[in-house]
């Protein structure tokens, strides 16, 4: 029997539609089923937002920045507002800081729930997706009640927040927090020991600490690789230094650890929101800032702990 003649061949993977996760085009060189070489083409999500923002006022930029990342738009609002405030030295009222922390943490929970649901769905378990989106809906209701939108909030503004929370927000938020804390336990019972889930996550997509740093990975993925670094504690912004919360760290750096870390983070975020709801007091929600506000020319650098790193 003579050997079959084999040769390498190229496959184009992507680009996918912008609404799918992680849009990029991969040019794969294959040897049978083995990938020999990958050439990634990135930049499909570049929408020239910086350029669009150039000829707009600071207030106008915020709704556009919402579209940076629609799963946690609050963070995009916040990091921009924080930069503008640092540039011009605006003091943010106490109540606004509390509201910001509540919203940021709720948004972090919502984002992690999306991670949990979609990861499980992609692996083949549909139920967690339905459960996660059900719980996320409670958070979306809170946002909708407060600012009127479910994804693109335009809520955190330069100098504070746009609207005060309605009366029924605090009781409803407390209920939401306790339900989510309970439900996370249920998620863990549902998946942690499931043999299919374990086979498909443990040891998969390993990223050890050195590699994670070399790639410039941040956020939950970095912490799942064993590096204890969280900006909420290590470079506190807003009023995070007033709250008591843990920062979960896992060491294997595989998909399973990232999943566990995010579930733990949901519970920690619930703690922060509960403390913030206790500590919040009446007061103004926005410093006096003109709508056409423009800070002095200068440079600043702000960084916050986003839920996706």
Partner 1 sequence: MLGYIKGLVELVKGLGITGKHLGKHAVTLQYPEEKDIMPERSRGVVVLLSDKEDGSLNCTACELCMRACPTAAIRIIAPRGEDKKKKLELFELDFSLCCYCGLCEEACNFSALKLTGKYEYSTGNKDDLLWDVNKLQDVGRDVDYVDKRKKKVKKVAPKPTETVDSKPKSDEIKTDKIETKPSATENKTDKIETTKPVDEKPKSEGEA
Of 76, 92, 102, 191, the one binding partner 1 by CB under 8 A: 191
Nearest to 43 by CA among 18, 13, 75: 18
Helix axis angle for 255-279 and 169-191, nearest 10°, is 160
Binders of partner 1: how many residues, by CB under 8 A? Answer: 44
Please, are residues 116 and 263 in contact by the beta-carbon 8 Å criterion? yes
Tokens of residue 179, six digits: 């339900």
- DSSP per-residue string spanning 134-190: HHHHHHHHHHHHHHS-SS----EETTEESSPPPTTHHHHHHHHHHHHHHHHHHHHHH
What are the E-state strand segments in 47-164?
156-157, 160-161
Residue 289 touches partner 1, criterion: CB under 8 A: yes
Tell me the CA end-to-end span of the chain in Å, nearest whole number: 55
Our finding on whether 171 is near partner 1 (CB under 8 A) is no
Would you say 40 or 148 has its CB closer to partner 1?
148
Residue 161 near residue 155, CB atoms below 8 Å: yes
CB of 217 to partner 1, least distance (A): 31
Using CB under 8 A, pick the residue from 291, 300, 303, 309 that binds partner 1: 291
The interface region with partner 1, picked from 13-21, 110-118, 143-151, 258-266 by CB under 8 A, is 143-151
Q: Exactly one of 189, 206, 251, 303 binds partner 1 (CB under 8 A); which one?
A: 189
Give the nearer residue to partner 1 in terms of CB position, either 47 or 251: 47
Query: Which residue's CB is nearer to partner 1, number 12 or number 57?
Result: 57
Site string for partner 1, 66-85 (x = CB under 8 A): x-------------------
- Residues 203, 257: Cα–Cα separation, whole Å: 9
Query: Is there binding between residue 61 and partner 1 (CB under 8 A)?
Result: yes
Q: Is 95 helix (H, G, I), strand (E, B) or coil?
A: helix
Site string for partner 1, 88-127 (x = CB under 8 A): xxx------------------------------------x
Cβ of residue 166: shortest distance to partner 1, in angstroms? 8
CB of 209 to partner 1, least distance (A): 30
Residue 27 phi/psi, 5° resolution?
A: -100, 105
195 in contact with partner 1 (CB under 8 A):
yes
Interaction of residue 137 with partner 1, rule CB under 8 A: yes
Work out whether 62 is an interface residue with partner 1 (CB under 8 A).
yes
CA distance 255 to 119: 9
- Alpha-carbon distances of 222 from 67, 144, 198, 231, rounded to whole Å: 25, 32, 21, 12
Burial letters for 29-60: b for 16+ Cβ neighbours within 10 Å, e otherwise?
A: eeeeeeeeeeeeeeeeeeeeeeeebeeeebbe
Among 64, 123, 239, 280, contact with partner 1 (rule: CB under 8 A): 64
Residues of this chain that bind partner 1 (CB under 8 A): 56, 59-64, 66, 88-90, 127, 134, 137, 144-149, 152, 154, 162-163, 166, 186, 189-191, 193-196, 288-298
């Amino acid at each position: 029997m003579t050997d079959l003649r084999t040769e390498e061949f190229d496959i184009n993977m992507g680009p996918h539609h912008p609404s799918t996760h992680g849009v990029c085009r991969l040019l794969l060189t294959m040897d049978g089923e083995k990938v020999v070489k990958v050439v990634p083409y990135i930049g499909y999500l570049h929408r020239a937002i910086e350029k669009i923002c150039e000829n707009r006022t600071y207030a106008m930029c915020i709704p556009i920045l919402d579209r940076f990342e629609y799963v946690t738009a609050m963070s995009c609002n916040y990091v921009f507002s924080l930069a503008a405030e640092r540039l011009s030295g605006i003091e943010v009222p106490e109540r606004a800081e509390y509201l910001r922390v509540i919203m940021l943490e709720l948004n972090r929970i919502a984002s992690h729930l999306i991670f949990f649901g979609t990861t499980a769905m992609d692996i083949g378990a549909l139920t967690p997706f339905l459960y996660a989106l059900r719980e996320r809906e409670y958070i979306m209701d809170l946002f909708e009640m407060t600012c009127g939108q479910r994804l693109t909030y335009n809520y955190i503004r330069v100098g504070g927040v746009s609207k005060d929370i309605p009366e029924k927000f605090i009781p409803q938020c407390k209920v939401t927090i306790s339900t989510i804390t309970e439900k996370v336990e249920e998620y863990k019972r549902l998946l942690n020991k499931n043999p299919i889930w374990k086979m498909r996550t443990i040891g998969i997509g390993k990223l050890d600490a050195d590699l994670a740093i070399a790639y410039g990975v941040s956020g939950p993925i970095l912490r799942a690789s064993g590096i204890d670094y969280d900006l909420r504690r290590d470079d506190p912004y807003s009023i995070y230094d007033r709250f008591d919360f843990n920062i979960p760290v896992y060491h294997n750096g595989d998909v399973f650890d990232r999943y566990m870390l995010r579930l733990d983070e949901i519970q920690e975020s619930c703690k922060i929101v509960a403390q913030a709801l206790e500590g919040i007091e009446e007061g103004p929600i926005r410093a006096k800032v003109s709508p056409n506000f423009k800070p002095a020319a200068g440079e600043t650098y702000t960084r916050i702990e986003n839920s996706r790193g």
